[in-house]
Amino acid sequence: MPDPLPAGPFSRRGFLGLTLLAVPVVLASCAAPDAAPSATSPAEPSAPSPTETPAPTGSARPEVVRSYGPNGTHWPAHTPWIGDTATAVVEVPCDWAAIGAALAAVTPAQAAAGLRISVAPGTLTGEGTSSGSTPMLTELGSADWAQNVLVAPRDGRGTVTITGSARLLDVYGVTFARIDADDLLLTNCSRTAWAQAKMTTGLRMTSSYGATTHECGAYEIVMADAKADISDPLGYAAGEGCIIIDCVWEGCYSAPVFRPSGASDHVDTLQMYGKGWYRGLTVRDTTVFGSLNCALQIGGSPEDDPNRGTPFLTVDHSILTSQQTAIEVRYPRPENADTPELAQAINGIGEPGQLYANDSYIFGSMYRSSWAQVENTKVSSEGVEEKNPVANGAWDYDPEMASWGGKQFDELTPLPTDEYLASIWA
């Protein structure tokens, strides 16, 4: 049994091939709250350099505690800890232009030594997350920096937020932390991460314009509230001729999305998709409650994938459920939403022989798929041995999982209320 606290296969939603756009950097302003402290940097800083002012809090980087969802300890290893007082700090006003200027001024030596861009209180506004939307930040940073640069609120989580949908394009080696948002699209953002934040609509990692995108990360990203919608909240996608590989969702949590009555859309919670080549996704220490179709849509791998034969998907110490399970244990179906017909946790075939699972729980069925290795992973679906064969190891079929209720789920994966998140991200 996994230790709760140890130290039609393809989506019908097509991914349009994208062509390179000459997109200028349009730097949007933000509205600061009435009581916001005045910024310590000019409104339009020119090449700010780090000061020796310590970060406002001081605490040691915590050891990662394995969990099924956020607990405050999951953080990108290549990023200075948010409470590290040894990190140099650049203070900027709450403005995309100021954040962009500060990132543009970073040198490799400054990044290697540890640098935090500290954002004064306020609200940032997005301009959309379609392929043609103006990116709020673009062509900044470096995936070759020894450490990521940290961008975080000066006065703690809740003092800087993003409203509307916001897109980042070609931003490398930057970790944005404790900045809550409505909806985010990270395009071609190799080795960029978003950490310890709550999303209203969702977060997607994509690769477009012929790019190879790698090592993008989501750490303790939470979509806590169920809703009726037609859009997948979480995405991992590659456009035609593009690659996305070796990315992680760690310590995350997502409630289900219910399809509104009368709609015909196919809805997944976390979907891998696209006309390009996507693989190398790790879902670790994460809970994903299923939307109408499933919790995790893994699509498939075309024969011409240049990375074919390498790990496609790893489910590591995580919980995946069907929407039927979600309804039974935590999220009652809204009156204006469709009833799920499939009790499915995973859909898609991925690449046969390149799927891995360990120390996890899967509540619901899986589409026919062949797995390379499975260890210590409990499943509720009978017949999984035949339908989802394993080369090394075996599934642990547990019929009692079908009768689990809210109490068992509360013990494994606490509901991430605002109070809980405030306590772990203080």
Q: Tens of pLDDT along 356-397?
A: 999 999 999 999 999 999 999 999 999 999 999 999 999 999
Residues whose CB falls within 8 Å of the CB of residue 28, separated by 6 or more in sequence, listed in order: 96, 97, 124, 125, 126, 127, 134, 136
What percent of the chain has a predicted confidence (pLDDT) above 90?
83
Q: State yes or no: pLDDT of 45 exceeds 50.
A: no
Residue 55's pLDDT band, with cuts at 50, 70 and 90, is very low
- pLDDT digit string, tens, across residues 154-179: 999 999 999 999 999 999 999 999 99
Kindly state the average pLDDT of the residues 270-288: 98
For residue 58, what pLDDT is reported?
61
Kindly state the average pLDDT of the residues 300-311: 97
- pLDDT digit string, tens, across residues 61-114: 999 999 999 999 999 999 999 999 889 999 999 999 999 999 999 999 999 999
Q: State yes or no: pLDDT of 294 exceeds 70.
A: yes
Residue 41 vs residue 269, higher pLDDT = 269
pTM of the model as a whole: 0.87
Cβ atoms of 357 and 314 within 8 Å: the answer is yes
For residue 101, what pLDDT is reported?
98
Q: State yes or no: pLDDT of 224 exceeds 90.
A: yes
Q: State yes or no: pLDDT of 59 exceeds 90.
A: no
For residue 132, what pLDDT is reported?
83
Q: So where are the chain's domains?
A: 158-424
251 φψ region: left (φ > 0), alpha (ψ -120 to 50), beta (else):
left
Residue 2's pLDDT band, with cuts at 50, 70 and 90, is low
Q: State yes or no: pLDDT of 31 exceeds 80.
A: no
Q: State yes or no: pLDDT of 153 exceeds 90.
A: yes
DSSP three-state, residue 139: strand
Q: State yes or no: pLDDT of 230 exceeds 50.
A: yes
- From CA 222, how far away is CA 60, in angstroms rounded? 23
Kindly state the average pLDDT of the residues 141-152: 98
Q: Please state, in angstroms and as integers, the Cα–Cα distance from residue 418 to each residue in 54, 308, 422, following that order.
A: 28, 42, 6
For residue 337, what pLDDT is reported?
94
Kindly state the average pLDDT of the residues 233-242: 97
Q: State yes or no: pLDDT of 46 exceeds 90.
A: no
The CA-to-CA distance between both ends of the chain, in Å, stands at 32
Q: State yes or no: pLDDT of 35 exceeds 60.
A: no
What percent of the chain has a predicted confidence (pLDDT) above 70?
86
Cβ atoms of 194 and 224 within 8 Å: the answer is no
Cβ atoms of 95 and 122 within 8 Å: the answer is yes
Query: For 37, which DSSP code?
Result: P
> What's the half-sphere exposure (Cβ side, CA atoms, 13 Å) at 387?
15
